[in-house]
Structure 1
Amino acid sequence: MKAPALPLTRDLVLVGGGHAHALVLRMWGMDPLPGARVTLINPGPTAPYSGMLPGHVAGHYGRDELDIDLVKLARFAGARVILGTAEGIDLAAREIRVSGRPPVGFDVASIDIGITSAMPDLPGFAEHAVPAKPLGPFATRWAAFRDLSGPASVAVIGGGVAGAELAAAMAHALRMRNRSAEVHLVDRGAALSALRPRAAEKLRAALAAQGVTLHEHAPVAAVTARGLTLADGRTLEAAFVTGAAGAWPQAWLRDSGLALHKGFIAVGPTLQSSDPDIFAAGDCAHLTETPRPKAGVFAVREAPVLLANLRARLAGDSALRPYRPQKDYLKLISLGEKAALGDRFGMALSGPLMWRWKDRIDRRFMAKFHDLPQMPVPKLPVPRAAGTVEALGDKPMCGGCGAKVGRDALGAALSHLPPPARDDVTPLPGDDAALLLTGGTRQVMTTDHLRAFVEDPVTMARIAVVHALGDIWAMGAEPQAATASITLPRMSEALAQRSLTEILTAASAILREAGAEIVGGHSSMGDETTIGFTLTGLCEAEPITLSGAREGDALVLTKPLGSGVIMAAEMAGAACGAWVAAALASMTRSQGDAAALLREAHAMTDVTGFGLAGHLHGILMASGKGAELRHDAIPLLDGALELAAQGQRSTLYPKNRDAVPGLVPQDPLGDLLFDPQTAGGLLACHPNGEEAVEALRGLGYAAAVIGRVTGDWPGHISLV
């Protein structure tokens, strides 16, 4: 007998995607702890690696080479990703507060949120300067400035190693773009004081060779729109000002209730804070017994100890490992061009050889996250029933609409039902919802359920609600009431309560914004998460059906295509995190305002599981019309076309393609016409399409007129 999967009983929440947490996730994916659910909270889908930042600033590395893709990493680790900014922690409730969503409950938590180089006490810094940390926003702002034309002026505040690396890198990058540049490195005291004399001397020489002007014992009084004002009254002109002078903790830690040291989380040798179930690592932590400078090398070395202690705490084991930091460590310092300075044990070596050594170390570190090991697929049992291999297919089943039963199977099953015996119930074959008459009031009713394709229950709930509401909006109705149907994987009562609270809170917010209320529901436990809603809506006017399209109507699409192929690729670890984040943002975008703008449509549907071609074909068959699609006008999600060209497909793609006769895809864009969408856009046959699109774009939609309805050739779709 097959051993049952263990229920989930403990929540581990990792706050921040710093180096230590990235390594913890990688190691967790290779050896997870059964029964523990892992959550990563980070503001964005990637985390930049600090060791390669100077090389990126200098132009030696591309932006993508700098980033650890946390979405891919979390998929490998079996963790859920919450793309949001942590704003606080409630020690009593055991919750992390995250901007724009319900709190996230935890049993054990770890914080690795890095530091900031913002200088809140320096007048004008917030308005006119860019802190070097967080690294992501800095890299983006620097790239925009670097790629301008004409003379350039730059000032770096902070004459430590980090400031020197940035100044040298900036000078080199500007010179490579043939921009005459003045680069200033400013320190309130003696620059490079953390280095041994010989290493400091070599770094000073390298800065001079790059054309960097060093200003020592020069406190900055203010940052202005023109540059820096020094305490002695002098001014330095600079169009780009950055700060690398020291490290500041994230502000929300002040109110965390944890013991702090100068704003940083105080941790003991086991990396535990004053709360034994909350750990901290990397630059945001202060080692109380063995203080060390803020350097990425310590975060990397902390990761194995952090992982072991998190696992022990989750398992109820009180024996934890101590972290013993090394007293000295190798400093490899970028010198602008492809040269570096190595400093350890009093030895200082510089030149291209040191750069190659640093480059090899950095690339080896990043390869840990780019080249994730392929975990073995469980073998099928032998003997087994005939047809199981064919039923499984050659890839795991997609979630969302990619997991739907094909249109032919659904239609065949429905054809066996007897016609309605009630005169107040009017099914609309092929339409999005049924029409009910209640006391003379027109009411529509629909239901939709989704198999989860993201681990975050809040994101999945938002997608499921928007997806279900699409049927109401497409018929021109106003959402009224909803019941929820939720299946959770087997878990403890405490974790089930956390998950249900997150799901229902997120769903209720979107439904209430749309004018509806949750009035009840049903929950159960099963093999995986499934979220669904049955909805009613009210129609003041005649409902918009599939059968009303007229020749000459513009085909208006409110959202871009590609969610199916992106999420299928994400399951396979082939979609970059930024593409996934953009797809999720599109799927969670509510469309009530778009539906209101499209009330003049003659026919309308929402583009979901059967793809754009399938849903358009449904309108055309019901209306007895044909259509032309403008091949180059169809909006696409970032990454969708590239992934389609690579051969990525959702599992429902073949059935969708076969369900639309006569339309044969000729290229990757053609394939995307059959890509199943989840919470996709509204497709309207509209008499004033261009005006409607202009209004939709004013609301922030990536809407487009993608074609027009043609003559009496039922179901025919041509590409032009």
Structure 2
Amino acid sequence: MKQTVPFTRDLVLVGGGHTHALVLRSWGMNPLPGVRLTVINPGPTAPYSGMLPGFVAGHYTRDELDIDLVKLARFAGARIIVGKAVAIDPIAKTISVPDRPDIAYDVAVIDVGITSEMPTLAGFAEHGIPAKPLGVFASRWDAYRANATTPKVAVIGGGVAGAELAMAMAYALRDQAPEVSLIDRGEVLDGFNEPTRNRLLAALEELNVSLVEHAEVAEVLPNAVRLTDGTLVPSDFTTGAAGARPHDWVADIGLDLQEGSLVVGPTLQTSDPDVFAVGDCAYLSHDPRPKAGVFAVREAPYLFDNLRARLSDGKMRNYHPQKDYLKLISLGGKEALAEKLGTARRSTLLWKWKNHIDRTFMNQFEKLPQMEPELPLRVAQGVKDALGDTPLCGGCGAKVGRGALQGALKTLPETGRNDIVPLVGDDAALLKTGGALQVFTTDHLSAVTDDPVLMAKITAIHALGDIWAMGADPQAAVLSLTLPRMSADLQQRTVTEVTQTISENLGGAALVGGHTTMGDSMTIGLSLTGLCSADPVTLAGAQVGDVLVLTKPIGSGTILAAEMRRLARGADVLACYKSMTQSNEDFARALKDAHAMTDVTGFGLAGHLAGMCETSGVGATVRLDNVPLLDGALSLAESGVRSSLFPDNRNDTRITAPDTARSALMFDPQTAGGLLAALPRDQAVAITKKFPNVGISIIGEITEGRGVTFS
């Protein structure tokens, strides 16, 4: 979509809590023009606490537990930064995330929850699993449940959270005669009135949960919890649900605190009016309430309105929490207890009600409304055909088809220069400069992500591909940067992020200058030189009998096309980003004696291999099952997802391939893809053994003939 209003303010959401998830959804339906929205979270998903006991008990899958923040950020028009915030400087107005430049903000919100880590309890860091953050706990429990044979579980903390977890664990492991212990320094569930507590104690007894009361924990061991009186409580999965507290770094921000939590008033602002806080990490000074997800959910519309007001000089609303709320407590199986105003009931119907409430909450993130603009009623002839069935992809998926560029280049006259080495088919030029051979190349990408840092890393690795593929050492780079329209302050922030990141990811080359402009969207380009210390590796040397080595899995074009349409899983998108930002430098050094080499980019594996074969005067066969694929790529291809460049790539008469989803991925345009090399088999085998865990693979061989066959 064409941007018509310049960005003038940065709004940064720190954490993926329930309040932020709801704000992102609301923002997608009603954004404030001029605001660049960013969300920072340690992972691609945010687990929903209301469904955690059901997940532990086995009633829900991990996918059902998690809110996909990557999809939600795409819907909201937000850039997502996957990393853990470790500091906020309210004076400089920056947020620190490891391994990237600081992130500037005009307004920030903190929604990072609390932690159940017990740093002062001996052995807990090594052998314990805190119940919060939920994501780490859920992953550890998934692995334990799948492999436990004689389970022994202990939960430290006998409040309602600990009791729910103990019952859920006992139910999930019920067929394996588990030993489940609930440990508390006082009495278990002493925060309830006697009738409610008795009902919960009965539910614990029915599931054979052992209560260890009036017990002080001295140490967590690999297979037990040792109490101060010397008693050993058997456990090979010990979790902590007691003493949940704010994250340590929150106290270092320098804002007003109450027992480690950020103090907020009725507008949800901290002592710094440009920093808001919500959820369990906040303390409502005007109307204190216990830590409970219901308050985080109720805060969302007030936060949404107040952020818009703060960013546009509007009027804020005051949030006043309800005095009491309905507590629905899972009892392990598909039964729940409801408590409010001192009255409690338990039944299977109450679990169905809770399940309905929880699934309704999660469905609003799965079934996001379609907000894409439609075409005008009247358009010129050919517009619909030019647009095709899918939106224009970013990265190499946005490239012009192979035929257009090659056809245009053929119309150019011969240069007649003797300082340019003639090459056929290679993407880079080879220059004679002062007795040295210098590789010169240029490449630019339209953004596949709104995060300038991530996009800069991807662009650097992508552009270096031509240098590495010819066996050269990167020398110098010049940047070409187009930014969406934004204020001078945001220009400075963004250009600084991009240049710092490019400079750190050039494989030893120097960033010596650049040019900037503003346009409808972000594009980043690099012109690079490299020096050859030996004869360059080109497309022309492949020999019959060589095998083909590929250094990265393929499928990025399909995954990125799906991400644009909110069809890809967030975890698969992040794995794709990780692959794209993996340097090919070490692979290139190992392949320096290859007979022929290229990087796999816009024309896909099939197109680039066909180009190598055509230039070398040989053919090739590739076994489809040997080609490594990115996680999620095949299932997306099977569902019909294709990049916008796919039709042009598939229409290549040099290539024979079956009409299958796996085959379609061979024509998938890759961004920052791997190196494809032809070399003798013994050398190839030695190289794959040198890189055993990074996906480098032998995928086929060079043959007689001229065509490329996938089978």
Report the TM-score range of the alignment, normalised by the length of the smaller protein.
over 0.9
Partner in structure 1 of residue 709 of structure 2? 718
Amino acid at match of 1:659: D
How far apart, in 1, do the equivalents of 2:626 and 2:66 lie? 32
Is 1:232 the counterpart of 2:268? The answer is: no
Residue deviations 1:460-504 (CA, integer Å, cap 9, x gap): 000000000000000000000000000001100101111111111
Is 1:494 the counterpart of 2:489? The answer is: yes
Partner in structure 2 of residue 322 of structure 1? 318
State which drifts further: 145-154 or 565-574. 145-154
Q: 1:683 aligns with which of 644, 664, 676?
A: 676
Q: 2:535 aligns with which of 535, 542, 545?
A: 542
Q: How many residues align?
A: 709
Q: Is the 8 A contact 1:613 1:660 kept in 2?
A: no
Cα drift, residue 590 of structure 1: 1.0
Residue deviations 1:72-119 (CA, integer Å, cap 9, x gap): 000000000001110101112111001111111100000001111011
Q: Is the 8 A contact 1:602 1:686 kept in 2?
A: yes
How far apart, in 2, do the equivalents of 1:213 and 1:568 lie? 52
How far apart, in 1, do the equivalents of 2:635 and 2:191 lie? 47
Correspondence 1:611-630 to 2 at 5 A: 611-630=604-623
Cα drift, residue 390 of structure 1: 1.6
Question: Runs of 4+ in structure 1 displaced over 4 angstroms?
Answer: none
Partner in structure 1 of residue 695 of structure 2? 702
Give the TM-score taking structure 2 as reference length.
0.98
Helix, strand or coil at the partner of 1:693: helix
Q: Is the 8 A contact 2:610 2:654 kept in 1?
A: no
Partner in structure 2 of residue 284 of structure 1? 281
**Which consecutive residues of structure 2, in runs of 5 or more, have no partner in the other structure?**
none
Cα drift, residue 427 of structure 1: 4.3
State which drifts further: 362-371 or 287-296. 287-296
Partner in structure 1 of residue 593 of structure 2? 600
Is 1:369 the counterpart of 2:365? The answer is: yes
Cα drift, residue 292 of structure 1: 1.1
Amino acid at match of 1:116: T
Amino acid at match of 1:216: E
How far apart, in 2, do the equivalents of 1:425 and 1:454 lie? 37
Q: Is the 8 A contact 2:13 2:20 kept in 1?
A: yes
Q: What's the % identity of the aligned pairs?
A: 59
Amino acid at match of 1:607: V
Q: Is the 8 A contact 1:628 1:718 kept in 2?
A: yes
Helix, strand or coil at the partner of 2:185: coil
1:664–1:132 Cα change, 3 Å: same
Q: 1:180 aligns with which of 150, 155, 177?
A: 177
1:50–1:659 Cα change, 3 Å: same
Q: Is the 8 A contact 1:558 1:696 kept in 2?
A: no
1:183–1:3 Cα change, 3 Å: closer
Cα drift, residue 387 of structure 1: 1.8
Correspondence 1:218-617 to 2 at 5 A: 218-317=215-314, 319-380=315-376, 382=378, 384-511=379-506, 514-617=507-610
Helix, strand or coil at the partner of 1:632: helix
Correspondence 1:40-79 to 2 at 5 A: 40-79=39-78
Cα drift, residue 149 of structure 1: 4.3
Cα drift, residue 376 of structure 1: 4.8
Correspondence 1:149-164 to 2 at 5 A: 149-164=148-163
Q: 1:200 aligns with which of 182, 193, 197?
A: 197
Q: Is the 8 A contact 1:617 1:660 kept in 2?
A: no
Amino acid at match of 1:501: T
1:427–1:321 Cα change, 3 Å: farther
How far apart, in 2, do the equivalents of 1:470 and 1:678 lie? 10
Residue deviations 1:368-416 (CA, integer Å, cap 9, x gap): 101111125233253x432222222222100000000000000011111
Helix, strand or coil at the partner of 1:691: helix
Partner in structure 1 of residue 687 of structure 2? 692
Residue deviations 1:427-482 (CA, integer Å, cap 9, x gap): 42310210001110000000000000111010000000000000000000000000
State which drifts further: 39-48 or 655-664. 655-664
How far apart, in 2, do the equivalents of 1:598 and 1:237 lie? 54
1:149–1:265 Cα change, 3 Å: closer
Q: Is the 8 A contact 1:408 1:659 kept in 2?
A: no
How far apart, in 1, do the equivalents of 2:641 and 2:658 lie? 14
Q: Is the 8 A contact 2:110 2:277 kept in 1?
A: yes
Cα drift, residue 3 of structure 1: 11
Partner in structure 1 of residue 9 of structure 2? 10
Cα drift, residue 193 of structure 1: 2.1
Q: 2:663 aligns with which of 660, 670, 688?
A: 670
Cα drift, residue 694 of structure 1: 1.4
How far apart, in 2, do the equivalents of 1:144 and 1:639 lie? 21
Amino acid at match of 1:563: S
Residue deviations 1:547-602 (CA, integer Å, cap 9, x gap): 00001111000000000000000001100100000000000111111100111110
CA RMSD of aligned residues (A): 1.3
How far apart, in 1, do the equivalents of 2:369 and 2:593 lie? 53
Cα drift, residue 227 of structure 1: 1.2
Cα drift, residue 518 of structure 1: 0.2
Q: Is the 8 A contact 1:80 1:455 kept in 2?
A: yes
Partner in structure 1 of residue 169 of structure 2? 170
Amino acid at match of 2:505: I
Amino acid at match of 1:375: M
How far apart, in 1, do the equivalents of 2:304 and 2:475 lie? 48
How far apart, in 2, do the equivalents of 1:274 and 1:3 lie? 38
How far apart, in 1, do the equivalents of 2:23 and 2:218 lie? 42
Amino acid at match of 1:543: P
How far apart, in 2, do the equivalents of 1:399 and 1:647 lie? 18
State which drifts further: 544-553 or 390-399. 390-399
How far apart, in 2, do the equivalents of 1:96 and 1:206 lie? 45
State which drifts further: 325-334 or 2-11. 2-11
**Which consecutive residues of structure 1, in runs of 5 or more, have no partner in the other structure?**
none
How far apart, in 2, do the equivalents of 1:149 and 1:71 lie? 32
How far apart, in 1, do the equivalents of 2:171 and 2:198 lie? 20
Residue deviations 1:186-239 (CA, integer Å, cap 9, x gap): 111122122232211110000000010112211212212231111222221111
Cα drift, residue 346 of structure 1: 2.0
Q: Is the 8 A contact 2:654 2:708 kept in 1?
A: no
Partner in structure 1 of residue 630 of structure 2? 637
Cα drift, residue 4 of structure 1: 7.5
Is 1:87 the counterpart of 2:86? The answer is: yes
Helix, strand or coil at the partner of 1:544: coil
Residue deviations 1:3-55 (CA, integer Å, cap 9, x gap): 98111100000000000000000000000001101000001100100000100
1:575–1:166 Cα change, 3 Å: same
Is 1:649 the counterpart of 2:642? The answer is: yes
Cα drift, residue 161 of structure 1: 0.4
Helix, strand or coil at the partner of 2:20: helix
How far apart, in 2, do the equivalents of 1:69 and 1:617 lie? 38
